[in-house]
Amino acid sequence: MNMAPKVRPLWKRIPIMGGLAGLMAYKFLKLPTSILPRDFKAVVKNWDYEMFTTLLKSGVTSAIIDQPCYFKMPEKIESKAQVAPEYQFSQAQLEGFYRDGFIGPIDVFSPEQMKDFKHDLLAIEKTESKTYGFVTPRDRHFEMPRLWNYMKHPGVTERLAQLLGPDLNVWRSQIFYKGPKSPAIQWHHASTFMVEDYQDPAIFPKDRSEIFQLTAWIAVDESTHENGCLKFAAGTHDRMRAVHFGGSEGFYNAAYELDFKEQDHRIVELPCKPGQMIIFTERCIHGSAANTTDRYRLAFNLRCTPTSVAAYPGKKYYRSVYNGGKYNLEDWGVCLLRGQDRYKLSKIIPPEALERGIAPRLLSQVAAAPQQQLKRAA
Ligand SMILES: O=C(O)CCC(=O)C(=O)O
Ligand SMILES: [Fe+2]
371: pLDDT strictly greater than 80: no
pLDDT at 368: 81
Cβ of 173 less than 6 Å from ligand 1:
no
What does pLDDT average to over the chain? 91
pTM of the model: 0.93
Interval 21-34: pLDDT, tens: 999 999 999 998 88
84: pLDDT strictly greater than 90: yes
Neighbours of 293 (CB within 10 A): 15
Atom of ligand 1 nearest to the CA of 228: 3
Cα 118 versus chain centre, distance: 22
pLDDT at 86: 98
Interval 206-222: pLDDT, tens: 999 999 999 999 999 99
375: pLDDT strictly greater than 60: no
pLDDT at 195: 81
| 27 Cα–ligand 1 center, Å | 35
372: pLDDT strictly greater than 70: no
| Three-class secondary structure of residue 93 per DSSP | helix
User: Which residue's CA lies nearest to atom 1 of ligand 1?
Assistant: 176
pLDDT at 373: 54
Cβ of 301 less than 6 Å from ligand 1:
yes
| Three-class secondary structure of residue 324 per DSSP | coil
Q: Ligand 1 pocket: which of 138, 188, 230 to mutate (most atoms <8 Å of CB)?
A: 230
Residue percentage of the chain with pLDDT more than 70? 93
Interval 228-272: pLDDT, tens: 999 999 999 999 999 888 766 655 556 778 889 999 999 999 999
pLDDT at 3: 44
Cβ of 232 less than 6 Å from ligand 1:
no
Cβ of 168 less than 6 Å from ligand 1:
no
d(Cα 256, Cα 243) in Å, to the nearest integer? 6
Residue percentage of the chain with pLDDT more than 90? 77
pLDDT at 378: 45
376: pLDDT strictly greater than 60: no
178 forms bridges with which residues in the sheet?
297
Q: Decide if 303 contacts 170 (C-beta within 8 A).
A: yes
pLDDT at 319: 85
Interval 250-260: pLDDT, tens: 555 567 788 89
Residues in Cβ contact with 111 at an 8 Å cutoff, skipping those fewer than 6 apart: 273, 274, 275
pLDDT at 1: 40
Query: Under CATH, which number does the domain 66-347 receive?
Result: 2.60.120.620
Cβ of 216 less than 6 Å from ligand 1:
no
199/110: higher pLDDT: 110
Atom of ligand 1 nearest to the CA of 301: 9
| 274 Cα–ligand 1 center, Å | 15
Ligand number nearest CA of 231 is 1
Atom of ligand 1 nearest to the CA of 176: 1
pLDDT at 366: 79
Q: Give the pLDDT band (50/70/90) at residue 73.
A: very high
| 230 Cα–ligand 1 center, Å | 7
| Three-class secondary structure of residue 157 per DSSP | helix
Neighbours of 68 (CB within 10 A): 18
Task: Show me where the domains of the chain are located.
Answer: 1-63, 66-347, 350-378
Interval 44-70: pLDDT, tens: 999 999 999 999 999 989 999 899 999
Region 111-139: mean pLDDT is 95
User: Which residue's CA lies nearest to atom 7 of ligand 1?
Assistant: 287
Ligand number nearest CA of 288 is 1
Q: Give the pLDDT band (50/70/90) at residue 197.
A: confident
Ligand number nearest CA of 270 is 1
User: Which residue's CA lies nearest to atom 2 of ligand 1?
Assistant: 288
Region 268-284: mean pLDDT is 98
pLDDT at 296: 97
11: pLDDT strictly greater than 90: no
User: Phi and psi dihedrals of 146, rounded to 5?
Assistant: -65, -40
Cβ of 103 less than 6 Å from ligand 1:
no
| 29 Cα–ligand 1 center, Å | 40
